[in-house]
Structure 1
């Protein structure tokens, strides 16, 4: 018999782990080597404007994103699923408007409502109900309504018009999802039920959940902020002045600007008020559409619920928000400019 000689398998090459520290060091080296080129690039007025917009969007959103993940962690750790289900009507058609009205109690923006709505779904709340809360919370809470009143001191009817238009958008989208929405459009991670917490501290659950949601949502917030900054730079200011007196075109343009600019709902009323060359109706549509759908929110929804959901939910929300904003404006504002 001849012995079979087997050659030893080559050991796999160990790859050096690349962490955030190595990436940071590499970026610092690049910045030092190409500092002259970077200085000339950053001296561009458009680059400075885009950077200002990105910082402004991020600075406005991050505190409320933190608020959202804190609330999300609190729901996961301290609120049992049975309590949430008992607080809502059993019939989905009735639970949707209840969830919309409940948005009044949350003083946060759209960044905060996304992780909270996901946590509600994971606690067994129907997706249509959680989505109604997602759209209502950033638009009808007291901080937003007070900021609108301050921004429009001569037109107090704008507060009521915004409340009606935003609440109708939230309830309408909730009912539409209950009728036509499909669970397979959502990512599995968004619907995965949370196990009952046994054997570990609720505070540990709170911290881990909040940290996970912050990391998960924060990256998509950066993507949305960058998109808003780039698009903000390429929109000429002359376009707005040419819309004076053209209500229909103004409604369409202001709705698109609300999506592109991605201004936090606590600050958008002051931007709308500054556009005094436009009638009140287009500016109202801007206020109704912005908290419901913008590039930042679409990015957050895609990361939280999946791209398949976001690419269906966002366009539908955009159309419903325009219709509700126009209807609320015609009802409350009438012929006011």
Structure 2
């Protein structure tokens, strides 16, 4: 009885666009989410808490840039960085340092920087600009969250107890917990991104490209809405040739730090009050630093 109406609804162009974006976001992000979950479980089960006390400076102000720079060695995207940052907080790492890592890892790791160089063969300075702007934002947000009272707004991620189990069962129990928890929020974020992508008129982008300030704001907003994996966003930015390099830099800096699926995952991991404060502050700082970095390096 309802098969024909449902079939017609699914065949509508808007619905086809929605499903394409939803599936693309989930498929792009899922492998890196799994990578992050595996790293999170490995940190929780196999790495002793004393390791982090030795690896990071004792002063949080110094631990922030060290953790931010450590993001350069993890080949993952924002979906991987959230569970890893959650595991770091559970293991006693200062929240400010864990947040600096969370923001830097998706933007300055070797895979992302290599992809940026390939996407912008005629503008190699874009790689340096992306690295500098992203690391500055990550460290600045870490230091901001170090201020008195800020750390209390971050909920320590919960973890099911696996005490008394061997390392193998504890590891896989941790993986199942995080896949279920973070994967649900990934789906919610992907649904929101697909909905907004399907209804935003393409004409708005063409109108915004001709205004220097509006173009930066437009691509920053587009990065939030599209929720593209950081391993793929450079190629999308390179295709937006009607926009300036500075505007496209804002797209590359904002996307790995603030997007719909990332907001949903942060809210699920660290609490919605945290996400409601952290995401807008990160967005504003990322836009400002991108504009300044673009003016100097591009």
TM-score (ref. length: structure 2): 0.97
Matched, 1:231 2:231: no
Q: Decide which of 267, 283, 292 is 1:302's aligned counterpart.
A: 267
Structure 2 residue aligned with 1:146: 114
* Aligned ranges 1:71-150 → 2 under 5 Å: 71-150=39-118
CA change 1:215–1:198 in 2 (3 A) is closer
**CA distances 1:156-214 after superposition (whole Å, capped 9, x unpaired):** 000000000111110010000001553442335x1x6898x764311211111111011
**CA distances 1:85-124 after superposition (whole Å, capped 9, x unpaired):** 1100011110000000000111000010001001000000
- Distance, in Å, in 2 between the alignment partners of 1:259 and 1:243 is 16
- Distance, in Å, in 2 between the alignment partners of 1:180 and 1:258 is 31
Secondary structure, in 3 states, of the residue corresponding to 2:112? helix
**CA distances 1:20-71 after superposition (whole Å, capped 9, x unpaired):** xxxxxxxxxxxxx521111110111011001100000000000000000000
Q: Is the 8 A contact 1:123 1:193 kept in 2?
A: no
| Superposition deviation, residue 245 in structure 1 | 3.2
Secondary structure, in 3 states, of the residue corresponding to 1:324? helix
Structure 2 residue aligned with 1:220: 185
Runs of 4+ in structure 1 displaced over 4 angstroms? 192-195
Secondary structure, in 3 states, of the residue corresponding to 2:256? helix
- Distance, in Å, in 1 between the alignment partners of 2:253 and 2:155 is 27
Structure 1: unaligned runs, 5 residues or longer: 1-32
CA change 1:133–1:94 in 2 (3 A) is same
Matched, 1:176 2:144: yes
Structure 1 residue aligned with 2:7: 39
Matched, 1:327 2:295: no
Q: Is the 8 A contact 1:120 1:130 kept in 2?
A: yes
Secondary structure, in 3 states, of the residue corresponding to 1:155? coil
CA change 1:103–1:327 in 2 (3 A) is same
Q: Is the 8 A contact 2:160 2:177 kept in 1?
A: no
- Distance, in Å, in 2 between the alignment partners of 1:98 and 1:140 is 14
CA change 1:101–1:120 in 2 (3 A) is same
Structure 2 residue aligned with 1:317: 282
TM-score (ref. length: structure 1): 0.86
Secondary structure, in 3 states, of the residue corresponding to 2:62? helix
Matched, 1:289 2:257: no
Structure 2 residue aligned with 1:262: 227
RMSD of Structure 2 on Structure 1 (CA) = 1.5
* Aligned ranges 1:17-36 → 2 under 5 Å: 33-36=1-4
Specify the structure having the higher radius of gyration (Cα).
1
Secondary structure, in 3 states, of the residue corresponding to 1:243? helix
